[in-house]
Chains A and B, each alone.
Chain A
Amino acid sequence: MPTPTKGPRLGGGPAHERIMLANLSANLFEHKKITTTVTKAKRLRPFAERLITFAKKGDLASRRKVQGIISAKNRTNKTIVHELFTVIAPAMANREGGYTRITKIGNRHGDNAPMAVIELVMEPVSPKQAVVQEAEKATETAAPAAPAAETEATEAPVNEAETAEAPAAETEAPAAAEADSTEAPAEEKSEDK
Chain B
Amino acid sequence: MAVPKRKMSRSNTRARRSQWKATVPPLVKSVENGRVTYRLPHQAQVVTDSAGTPLFLEYKGRKVADA
Question: Which residue numbers of A lie inside 8 Å of B, CB to CB?
Answer: 33, 35, 103-106, 117, 184-185, 188-189, 191-193
Contacts and interface: CB of A to CB of B under 8 A. Distances in A.
A184 B61 contact: yes
Interface residues on B, range: 10 to 19
Interface in B45-67: 47, 49-50, 55, 57, 59, 61-62, 64-65
Given A117-B65, A192-B50, A105 B57 contact: yes
Nearest to A119: B64
Contacts of B32: 188
A154 B64 CA distance: 56
Given A35-B65, A105-B65, A192-B49, A185 B33 contact: yes
21 contacts: A35-B65, A103-B44, A103-B59, A104-B42, A104-B43, A105-B43, A105-B44, A105-B64, A105-B65, A106-B43, A117-B44, A117-B65, A185-B33, A188-B32, A188-B33, A189-B33, A191-B49, A192-B33, A192-B49, A193-B49, A193-B50
Contacts of B64: 103, 105, 117
A104 B41 CA distance: 10
Contacts, number: 34
A189 to B, nearest CB: 7
Nearest to A185: B33
Contacts of A35: 65
Nearest to B59: A103
A118 to B, nearest CB: 11
Contacts of B33: 185, 188-189, 192
A35 B64 CA distance: 10
Nearest to A101: B62
Given A117-B65, A184-B61, A185-B33, A106 B44 contact: yes
Interface in B6-48: 32-33, 40, 42-44, 47
